[in-house]
Amino acid sequence: MISSPITIESKLPNIGTTIFTVMSAMAAEHDAINLSQGYPDFPISEQLIELVNYYMTNGYNQYAPMTGVPELRSQIANKLGSGLDLDFDPDREILVVAGATEGLYSALTAFVHPGDEVIIFDPAYDLYAPSVVLAGGIPVHLELELPKFTINWEQLESAVSSRTRIIVINNPNNPAGSILSRKDLDLLSEIVEKHDLLVISDEVYEHMVYQPQVHQSILGHPNLRERGIAIYSFGKTFHATGWKIGYCVGPQNLISELTRVHQFVAFSINTPIQMALADYLKVPDHYLSLADFFKEKRDLFLRLMKNSRFEPLSCDGTYFQLMRYDKIRDLPDFQMATWMTKEHGVASIPTSVFYNKGTDNKILRFCFAKNTETLTRATEKLCQI
């Protein structure tokens, strides 16, 4: 290994290795069950793998069109159209991206100018603020209010300044497991219209919303649809987080601006997986069955944790369950998660890392996108703490 003599001024001096990498590495080192990082430990659809195989062996291996293969964009338009009873233009309103990560990064790069303020609700997924900073913008962090992680609308209204340009929402919210109601979207829409703002809506967990709740997309809201980009992830929806493929949806002029950045970030996304997903999306049950599938896992996890000393918070969406541990030990959450990983063999994520101020509510995040055996073994250990 060598080091360069060149001195680089870091653009992200305060950013270290993400907590997901830290906790997964700690889990591996101590042979702990990993309920930290958000990915499934069960296999993906064999049919989907066969489809990718088919397209790979049948010559679909060169650059795809920059915005995505027409077959996939058209299926995405159908999916959105039938879910929301609205029309989407597959050529102008949809952009296929290298995972929601690229969609979010490219959107923030396209729309944030130096000095622009971007409102982010904490706890927040860790990508938003650094992407804003890299674009020269200023993240303005507001905290969602416990116990249900709701938006304080008065606080939001007073946080909007003449420099505010964008509000980022994450619905359902990782790590909170909370969702936004139609009334929330109406209130958001009022503020956004009044101050002429753009909304970037991270909806990667759209199909993991648990009855009686339903997912409220900005795309289904007449005013927000005109003022926002919604971002989705096939990795989340089809249990294939390693594939890094997703899509952005919005008004044609916003998607066109976003595409200008996308062409230099990724240019285009791998062809055989796009072709395979286009076929796979033709059967709506492949994604509509997800809510029941994960609701069962959430309920199993909660049932198995009933005799533990952890206290669950409500989880209406995502595949994360938050648990309070303050009745067990009076430790900061990172220390608690570390102790549990090393001494009790179960890794989780401390939620303070999702806060700009490091707010520690003594809450840990557990991923329940795991098979029954993993959840059973993990909860046996957690119930002994």
Ligand X SMILES: Cc1ncc(COP(=O)(O)O)c(C=O)c1O
> Using CB under 6 A as the criterion, which residues of the chain lie in contact with ligand X when the complex forms?
38, 99-101, 125, 170, 174, 202, 204, 233, 235, 241, 244, 246
Closer Cβ to ligand X, 68 or 246, answer by number = 246
Closest approach, Cβ 239 to ligand X, in A, equals: 12
Closer Cβ to ligand X, 100 or 140, answer by number = 100
Residue type, 105: Y
Give the distance, in angstroms, between the CA of residue 172 and the centroid of all CA atoms in the same chain: 8
Closer Cβ to ligand X, 234 or 310, answer by number = 234
Closest approach, Cβ 12 to ligand X, in A, equals: 18
Cα–Cα distance measured from residue 334 to residue 336, given in angstroms and rounded to the nearest whole number? 5
Closest approach, Cβ 211 to ligand X, in A, equals: 21
Q: Among 242, 207, 206, 203, which Cα is nearest to 49's?
A: 242
Cα–Cα distance measured from residue 221 to residue 180, given in angstroms and rounded to the nearest whole number? 12
Closer Cβ to ligand X, 206 or 279, answer by number = 206
The side-by-side arrangement of strands in the sheet containing 94-97 is 94-97, 246-249, 228-233, 198-202, 164-170, 117-122, 138-143
Cα–Cα distance measured from residue 347 to residue 338, given in angstroms and rounded to the nearest whole number? 8
Q: Among positive and negative, which fits the CA dihedral 257, 258, 259, 265?
A: positive
Query: Minimal CB distance to ligand X: which residue?
Result: 99
Closest approach, Cβ 372 to ligand X, in A, equals: 22
Strand partners, 121: 142
Contact between 33 and 23 (Cβ < 8 Å): no
Closer Cβ to ligand X, 19 or 304, answer by number = 19
Closer Cβ to ligand X, 233 or 308, answer by number = 233
Closer Cβ to ligand X, 133 or 304, answer by number = 133
Q: Tokens in use for 263?
A: 């062409």
Phi, psi of 121 (to 5 degrees): -95, 125
Closer Cβ to ligand X, 106 or 170, answer by number = 170
Closest approach, Cβ 98 to ligand X, in A, equals: 7
Closest approach, Cβ 380 to ligand X, in A, equals: 27
Closer Cβ to ligand X, 173 or 379, answer by number = 173
Closest approach, Cβ 307 to ligand X, in A, equals: 30
Closer Cβ to ligand X, 151 or 304, answer by number = 151
Cα–Cα distance measured from residue 275 to residue 245, given in angstroms and rounded to the nearest whole number? 12
Closest approach, Cβ 243 to ligand X, in A, equals: 8
Closest approach, Cβ 237 to ligand X, in A, equals: 9
Residue type, 185: L
Closest approach, Cβ 126 to ligand X, in A, equals: 9
Residue type, 57: T
